Structure 1
């Protein structure tokens, strides 16, 4: 849970997840926590608001779980839920301490759902979701539509000419394409969607795409509930894939920056491709360059039509709201969505790994070491055990990896790990990594890191250490209860991935029930040599 809460506070994600800032015209903002190079490739995070109100009154998290239960029950009693006739579900948590509301629209679709040849389409669609509607973001939508059609035809003609090697025709077509694209740009009201939100007191307008899901979120003053209903329902009822080709170049540049020109980015992509053989977790969420180059507006439209259907969307609303009013407005605005068939599920099942795997890259970089192990999905009965194991090894300066590799032996500048890489809806990886300190080698780091992992398979964890990580997990859960945006994310994540938002509030009991024998059992099941994938990033050899 400690790691789940952390990853949710960063919007989970792994991948090479990213956040689109519509206020920057679709550019990406990346917020590094430890070392910008590796963390920008592993995940990007949003720091949820602090929780002072509950923090002042919460019980000592070291006490028995029963003393915390009244606070959890108070939150549970303020949650309501309903599902519209078209299948779109709403989860509402009343928090009346301040006149603000946080909203999160969760599309149960991410990089793992993309068809072969269309990698990156989920992330591409997230970018385009901020471009407006037939009424928002345009001076003349009818004329825009005509120009979109012309651009799409020219794009197909350019590709055909390029395939035949007709460079002269390619140049002529590109000139015509640029002219029409400029005409279309003249009709765009830049960032009108974001401007409406900002002028109405909205904050935090953003989104993220991960291997598992796509999230759209922002907060409003509580008297703007109906405005949110109108804006959010319209952009998914009538999406306009405006500035498609411009945004494609933005995403290609993002990939060049975060992967192609990043040694650790390349290493992570190669590591996943080695750790997975069948499951789409092996593919980068941002997509492969060739797939992005070849992607068409029609590809995005088909993906949207298939996955952005009411029964694949869940909305969480947390803050100063009246649930009855939320339901009434939801029916008016989101009830307009027609019912559609459920989208296809991910059917690929990763076979059990039967032998160790390794990948080594030599690039101009500091040396890094990665070690990963396959583990079950988030809804597995042992999820609390896995979270506590990760906390024991890598949660903060008191963790075993940090104390041993960084402080005591000074082999690494940093050593950490986390669960749910690159997602956690399906069987995933526990990933551990370390940045080698000057004067030491990757192999020294590898031996020291693996020693700490191996310890968990032969030596029971002390009750004192186990209680410490349980206390941390309980405290983090309690602190999350007063954060509107954080709670919105947690509620919807548990609803979609475990079957009920109520499972979030059962985690305290799950942690309390974990014993040192459980830790030993799960560690032995997981940290087997044949289940291990190793990645090494080494400096280029001198010529």
Structure 2
């Protein structure tokens, strides 16, 4: 029986501990660089013989540890007509193993297999239009689901984590990756090793069909019933013609409905191999103990075939593309431009441009479109969308003000972009933007969990966690000429995609 050992004070500590000075205290890069160098010196890398990587950062200020498992697989890795598999698998990764989440796995397994068979028969009957068979199979399917559910110990994985003092148990799926994370008291390192290794060594994708309905409902809320969600899906499908960034991470409705347990099992076995996993561990740990336990628990994984890589290359856009949707919504305006991946030398320049134009109330878009011209209620931008592991988009979007038109928003945005191309950014404004970027990064690194997530992400996306720290140096080196050069090459009519949400009213 697991024992409840955590106190309220320990829960408070598990929220994380600061590594570096508060973002509010940062005035320039020279102030934080010495702190970052000290952090870098404490980071230890370790790789198992099977290819799984560990990034360890000891931090003794509080008796807590944050764990992040980064799977180098996301929506972009999915096959055509099987979109949503990465996100589906994220949901199922919390369902337990042959030992966790069941009262009798052998009995449950037989029912799960029978459920799959009946589901396949039901789909066949529906395709043939055999209404009587459909009715009978639905009844049989519902009966089997009830029988299988009798063996399920609901959310047992999460209850174990919570009972043993864990907090923040969660996961996230993007176009580029899937990440799993939570924090434990420092004396629970081995328990984490056991739980995390078991769920990826011995997963059981139970309650598959129930979770399928949950995901379909999630899609209805985020996309089908959301004007902006609908536009984003259509916009990406217009801006990208070849690269899988054109597809939604949550998946198309028909694909979600057609996915089965064997599809998810195949996806898991293809991509959740040791060399595709990176774990970052930050907190009160002994690196030698981490290494020893990693060998015991994750060393059980055998080296597998290298997963297939995304090979599609988006061709250069040669003319402006447009997508217009008439919906029950206030008018929205979207404008996107293709840009290179995070590993490109100009990546930080796009970060600077996006921050300059759209970060907060001091940004150019807010000041000019919202405050001065009053053509928009909000105006923002994203420097990398829908991901940044591969060439992606700089995206700008604005909610039109009640007495303004989409054309006025478009004109005002174009004016700011042309200004960026033709006028040098002042040293004062550029320094302010650099400080904002530095402060934003510091906020992300100001806790165990934040540091662990960033270390794992940069290792997975760029090939080295050290690029997280060199990015700050690169930001400090950006010049007005760099901004002008990138703006002129990127913000062209032939590289532009426009999206408009037109009001039905």
TM-score where L is the length of structure 2 = 0.95
Q: Where does the alignment leave 5 or more consecutive residues of structure 2 unmatched?
A: 1-13
Which digits, 9 at most, give the CA deviation of each residue in 1:11-44, with x for residues without a partner? Answer: xxxxxxxxxxxxxxxxxxxxxxxxxxxxxxxxxx
**SS of the counterpart of 2:366?**
helix
Q: 1:93 aligns with which of 33, 44, 57?
A: 57
2:30 is the alignment partner of 1:62 = no
2:126 is the alignment partner of 1:162 = yes
**SS of the counterpart of 1:54?**
coil
Shift of the alpha carbon at 1:479?
A: 3.9
Q: 1:256 aligns with which of 208, 220, 224?
A: 220
Q: Is this contact kept in 2: 1:373–1:429, CA < 8 A?
A: yes
**SS of the counterpart of 1:216?**
strand
Q: How does 1:96-115 map to 2 (within 5 A)?
A: 96-115=60-79
Q: Where does the alignment leave 5 or more consecutive residues of structure 1 unmatched?
A: 1-47
Shift of the alpha carbon at 1:428?
A: 0.3
Q: 1:140 aligns with which of 96, 99, 104?
A: 104
- The structure-2 alpha-carbon separation of the partners of 1:101 and 1:51, relative to structure 1 and needing over 3 Å to count, comes to closer
**Residue equivalent to 1:205:** 169
Q: 2:188 aligns with which of 224, 227, 231?
A: 224
Distance 1:166 1:418 in 2: 49
- The structure-2 alpha-carbon separation of the partners of 1:390 and 1:51, relative to structure 1 and needing over 3 Å to count, comes to farther
Shift of the alpha carbon at 1:493?
A: 1.2
**Residue equivalent to 2:495:** 531
**Residue equivalent to 1:475:** 439
Shift of the alpha carbon at 1:496?
A: 1.5
Report which stretch shifted further, 352-361 or 490-499. 490-499
Distance 1:212 1:374 in 2: 17
Q: 2:411 aligns with which of 447, 450, 457?
A: 447
**SS of the counterpart of 1:346?**
coil
Shift of the alpha carbon at 1:349?
A: 0.3
2:168 is the alignment partner of 1:239 = no
- Poorly superposed stretches of 4+, deviation over 6 Å: none
Distance 1:261 1:382 in 2: 37
2:354 is the alignment partner of 1:396 = no
Shift of the alpha carbon at 1:504?
A: 1.0
Shift of the alpha carbon at 1:473?
A: 1.9
**SS of the counterpart of 1:55?**
coil
Shift of the alpha carbon at 1:453?
A: 1.4
- The structure-2 alpha-carbon separation of the partners of 1:518 and 1:232, relative to structure 1 and needing over 3 Å to count, comes to same
Q: Is this contact kept in 2: 1:147–1:184, CA < 8 A?
A: yes
Report which stretch shifted further, 519-528 or 446-455. 446-455
Q: 2:342 aligns with which of 369, 378, 382?
A: 378
Distance 2:382 2:94 in 1: 31
- The structure-2 alpha-carbon separation of the partners of 1:118 and 1:59, relative to structure 1 and needing over 3 Å to count, comes to closer
- The structure-2 alpha-carbon separation of the partners of 1:341 and 1:246, relative to structure 1 and needing over 3 Å to count, comes to same
Q: Is this contact kept in 2: 1:102–1:217, CA < 8 A?
A: yes
Which digits, 9 at most, give the CA deviation of each residue in 1:368-388, with x for residues without a partner? Answer: 000000000001001111100
**SS of the counterpart of 1:257?**
helix
**SS of the counterpart of 1:284?**
coil
Q: Is this contact kept in 2: 1:229–1:333, CA < 8 A?
A: yes
Distance 2:136 2:439 in 1: 64
Q: 1:285 aligns with which of 228, 246, 249?
A: 249
Report which stretch shifted further, 473-482 or 123-132. 473-482
**Residue equivalent to 1:496:** 460
Shift of the alpha carbon at 1:61?
A: 2.9
Q: How does 1:385-464 map to 2 (within 5 A)?
A: 385-464=349-428
Shift of the alpha carbon at 1:52?
A: 5.5
- The structure-2 alpha-carbon separation of the partners of 1:127 and 1:453, relative to structure 1 and needing over 3 Å to count, comes to same
**SS of the counterpart of 1:311?**
helix
Distance 2:465 2:319 in 1: 37
Distance 1:215 1:247 in 2: 19
Q: Is this contact kept in 2: 1:385–1:522, CA < 8 A?
A: yes
Distance 2:353 2:474 in 1: 14
Q: 1:172 aligns with which of 121, 136, 142?
A: 136
**Residue equivalent to 2:479:** 515
Which digits, 9 at most, give the CA deviation of each residue in 1:462-513, with x for residues without a partner? Answer: 1111011111222333344331111111111111111211111112221121
Shift of the alpha carbon at 1:285?
A: 0.6
**SS of the counterpart of 1:179?**
helix
Shift of the alpha carbon at 1:440?
A: 1.1
Q: Is this contact kept in 2: 1:59–1:67, CA < 8 A?
A: no
CA RMSD after TM alignment: 1.4
Distance 2:30 2:116 in 1: 61
Distance 1:478 1:149 in 2: 49
Length, aligned pairs only? 492
Q: Is this contact kept in 1: 2:445–2:454, CA < 8 A?
A: no
2:309 is the alignment partner of 1:345 = yes
TM-score where L is the length of structure 1 = 0.89
**SS of the counterpart of 1:501?**
coil
Q: 1:314 aligns with which of 261, 269, 278?
A: 278
Shift of the alpha carbon at 1:352?
A: 0.3
Distance 2:285 2:351 in 1: 33
Shift of the alpha carbon at 1:260?
A: 1.1
Q: Is this contact kept in 1: 2:356–2:363, CA < 8 A?
A: yes
Shift of the alpha carbon at 1:51?
A: 6.1
Q: Is this contact kept in 2: 1:51–1:479, CA < 8 A?
A: no
